[in-house]
Structure 1
Amino acid sequence: MSVDDESGAAALGSSRPAARIRGLRKVYGGVVALHGLDLDVVPGSVVGLIGPNGAGKTTAVRCIAGLLKPDSGEVSIAPSSTPGKSPVAIAAQEIELYPGLPVEMNLTFFSELSGVADAERVLAELTEELELGPLLGKLPKDLSIGQQRLVHVAAALVATPELLLLDEPTAALDVGARETLLAAVARRRAAGVAVLLSSHQLQEVETTCDSIVMINHGEVIAAGNVDDLIGEHGGGRIELTVDGKVEVVDGDDVAAAIDQVMATGGRLEAVNVIKPSLETVFMSLTGMRSTDVEAS
């Protein structure tokens, strides 16, 4: 991710953005959920939006999708290259399916709503891609939460939009379904779709996204290429539990860390070595520990 010289916004590459966000601000009852968010999402890229709970990720996604009106700022979405077709599709954090319609009818309805041409062929391809065949005749209420999530995201993927917004798309999915879905996202990136993916699964973001934008308390605290950010902020960490209290030491020298922490005495109960990764970047910039990250 590079930086736009004119505006300072985070942007990947030099293509015309599918979404261009400037100065996005949203306040709830005196609490600033977003404070001047600048962001570009260009075709053929997956941008990861990460941050602690309550950081403003879902607010940002909903504002970009037009589901929530910001208090100030600008959201510009490039028009669809296909007349009559929506340029944006969103799989929101909340599962949104029609409970009285079988899965197949849900997907058919969403494809028609999005202006999909040759919907029957597209649905057949999506069914095979996401392995939805056994679910087609079932009602959403008869599915597990993970299966409902998969169908919910499929309703967004069926549109093949210019801009795809995914808010926690793999929540509650099992390992196989998660890999299948992320492979589908990668294929759309390869086809030129611009993807904004909000997730708490940092390992998933690290392997799926070209770049990330990290927000905390509504403000961007880091943005850039994943590897570059790991190189700059993602040094190893060692967490030592002494008498029930976790002490954090930067670096990868376990012996030195133990000597440092145990200098004042106490009982060493556990040692957790964390290698450089997007998780260590996240912890370094937000001040969270690995157990906090897992719980967020």
Structure 2
Amino acid sequence: MAKVAIVGAGVIGIGWAKLFARGGWDVALADPRPDLDQIVRSELSGLSVTAYPEAGAAAEGADYVQEAGPERLDFKHKLFAELADATAGDVVLASSSSSLLPSEIAKGSPAADRILIGHPFNPADLMPLVEVVPGEKTSSMAMDRAMQVYGDLGKTPIRLKREIPGFVGNRLQKVFNDQSIYLVQQGVIDAKDLDDLVKASLGLRWATVGPFEGMNLGGGPAGILHLMQNVGSQMTFEIGEPDKSKMGMVIKEVDAAYGNGEQKYEQGVTARDDKTRKILKVLDEN
């Protein structure tokens, strides 16, 4: 049985552990948190997962490493040095980072050729996407191996040609979220109504076709050129930026619409994941 070392037992790390274990891997889950054994028993019950307090010990004999620790560069430098020492020279060292560039993580590392980003979308065990991002020194063999591993796990790995801050998914998400906040701040729409609008339009569309495919279909038989020359040519309005000093009103609206706290969070996560599974099932069947 292949072995994966997963470093970090937060939300993302637990998601990775579920995914790899269900995919037939022996999982070594490393985290210094004192309740790690309890986490394994409660959230990973029945799966082939072993808890380790130290990353180096978990990585010994691993065929793949998936890091999901804190988003601090100093922390990752020390951690990846430890992982490099504990693993064979052909083992991929993948970070789940959503903000740090792989070249920054690999700076000064003798294992820079096998360090890359394997960025999931939360929840990591459910959402299909993994962005596979190379650093300046990442080898093509490491990238090929990562693509194979994630693909074999049933994910949709997307190979970026080069690194860029925020990668692709989060850059798109940031632009969309910023405009959503701006529209609420401007009194154009309530936060809850904006969510409902997206779910009834763009969210549903983008679950079946991406932006470029959607534009191509939107132009009819003539395709994207027709769309850009007609409807698209009139999209000349300015796009505003959210006002950071007025974030309080947005937070107040979102809290009023959805609440917060442990119980509300658990209810929201359960509802979200149940709906996502149903959508994925339908998409898989077609």
TM-score by length of 1: 0.27
Of Structure 1 and Structure 2, the greater helix share is in 2
TM-score calculated relative to the size of structure 2? 0.28
Give the number of the structure with larger relative contact order, counting CA–CA contacts within 8 Å between residues 6 or more apart: 1
